[in-house]
Amino acid sequence: MHSKPLAVRLIQQDLKHSQLTEHLRQKGLDDGGLYSLDLMSLVAQLMQVPPEKMEHFAEIYGSYLDKVAEYPVTYLGEHLLPVAEACYLRLMGGKDD
């Protein structure tokens, strides 16, 4: 059994990091993936995602990372908590948002 609160917080932090690196990229400071945290792998491990479902997991997770720049950047990333929760629900096989 995994910890939902921990998974959601990890997703939220990954979203915030992705948001910040995307804003830097838009300003011409592209890191080429050098500063990737790869928290998706940790979340997948925490959620005990089997290898055969990893591609689908990564597609869902990546779709949330891709749209995160649409949200305001804040110190704590509080706007991203509902996004992280929605991502978690989709990863668990819940309804699309």
What's residue 31's pLDDT?
A: 81
- pTM exceeds 0.85 for this model: yes
Secondary structure (DSSP) of the chain: ---HHHHHHHHHHHHHHHHHHHHHHHTT---TTTT---HHHHHHHHTT--GGGHHHHHHHHHHHHHTGGGSPP-SS-GGGHHHHHHHHHHHTT----
What's residue 62's pLDDT?
A: 96
pLDDT per residue of the chain (97 residues) written in tens, 0 to 9:
579 999 999 999 999 999 999 888 889 988 888 888 999 999 999 999 999 999 999 999 999 999 998 999 998 899 999 999 999 999 999 654 4
